[in-house]
Structure 1
Amino acid sequence: MIEIPSDLHPDLVPLAWLLGTWQGAGVAELDTSCNFGQEASFTHDGRDFLAYASRTWVLDAEGQRQRPLESEHGFWRLSERQVEAVMIRDDGVAEVWYGELAEGKPQIDLVTDAVARTQRSAPYSGGKRLYGYVNGDLLWVGEKATPSTPLKPYMSAHLKKTVDPREWVADLKDLPDDGIAFFR
């Protein structure tokens, strides 16, 4: 179920399906292929944008964290069905993305419009991303291009919404002090 917070800016209602913290795993095609874990969050403070944060890490064969992979932060806005996002990545890349919210379904296609890189960042000239809300989960796939490589898939993930225990506390009013009476 998609919940729409009462203080969500009206322009962002069509993006309400993104709100929350998402965790899961995916596959990355970087120098070599690897599995990665991801935690991503979309939050709001009542203004006309969603704040976005994502961090990923390499997973070993047993699914244990090995080392950090990528982190990015940004802001997403919506006007009609037009999505714009500004993102900064820890590898020294800043991007402006534009795209469109699909008609009648929770799906967003984004393409880079501008890329700025620091001198130490790896070659990168642009990308595409597809985000979708499927059976209550967030799925995404990313493509990337460099000056010497055409656009090709590089990462994809399947994320599930996580629950913050602080949200539960608000629903536990009048809980007995001993904890046992609750089960009687």
Structure 2
Amino acid sequence: MLEPVQENPFPDSHTLGEGPGPHPQLEPVLPLLGRWHGRGRGEYPTLEQDFAYEQEVSFSHDGRPFLRYEARAWLIDGSGKAVRPAGREAGWWRVMPDASLEVVLTHATGIVEVLVGRVAGEEIELETVDVARTPLAKEVTGTRRRYSMREDELMSVQEMAAVGQPMQHHLAARLRRA
């Protein structure tokens, strides 16, 4: 006979008042915890035109020294109406005792990135050190990401090297705590 399913005793926490308390190593990234929502603009030389997008990002923890990360975006038209889904990624941000970061991101498009970086006050910088791709995934050789935390605002800028192009600006967004 099967045992009854029990509620998960270790839920991820989106706020400091839910679930287990944060691991002490998470101190430099605690302001990221929760859900963020906002808009951004993107461009790249291989695209016919610049684009506007809306994005939702969430960071949570389960008491261990890493963050669970998930982001989804959708293209929007000039009036702000959703046109179609865009980028989707999920992963883990490991926070080391010296405030350095090791990040693993998986993209729905068949790309896996390993990034390293550092938290310095309200600024976070990450850079790709390795990329794996499925056979039909677009060629992406690296990204650089910068996050700035200011009270209830999270700004992100992403550069990308892909499809034969050198590292250059790709995305910029301004998100507010949801």
Q: Same fold (TM over 0.5)?
A: yes
Q: Aligned to 1:14, what secondary structure does the other structure show? A: helix
Structure 1 segments, 4+ long, off by >6 Å, are none
The correspondence for 2:174, drawn from 145, 154, 158, is: 158
The correspondence for 1:116, drawn from 109, 121, 132, is: 132
Q: Aligned to 1:142, what secondary structure does the other structure show? A: strand
* TM-score, length-scaled by structure 2: 0.85
Whichever structure has more helix as a proportion of its residues is 1
Unaligned residue ranges in structure 2 (runs of 5+): 1-14
Corresponding position: 1:86 with 2:104: yes
Q: Aligned to 1:12, what secondary structure does the other structure show? A: helix
Distance of 2:61 and 2:74 partners within structure 1: 25
State whether residues 111 and 132 of structure 2, in contact with CA within 8 Å, keep that contact through their aligned partners in structure 1: yes
Counterpart residue type for residue 78 of structure 1: V
The correspondence for 1:8, drawn from 22, 29, 36, is: 22
RMSD: 1.4
Counting aligned pairs with the same residue, the percent is: 35
The correspondence for 1:51, drawn from 68, 73, 85, is: 68
Q: Report what 2:12 is aligned to.
A: none
Q: Report what 1:97 is aligned to.
A: 115
Counterpart residue type for residue 129 of structure 1: R
Residues 10-29 of structure 1 mapped to structure 2, 5 A cutoff: 10-29=24-43
State whether residues 140 and 156 of structure 1, in contact with CA within 8 Å, keep that contact through their aligned partners in structure 2: yes
Aligned length: 158
Whose radius of gyration is greater, 1 or 2?
1
The correspondence for 2:156, drawn from 131, 134, 140, is: 140
Counterpart residue type for residue 74 of structure 1: G
Task: Give the CA deviation at 1:136.
Answer: 2.4
Distance of 2:79 and 2:151 partners within structure 1: 26
Counterpart residue type for residue 11 of structure 1: Q
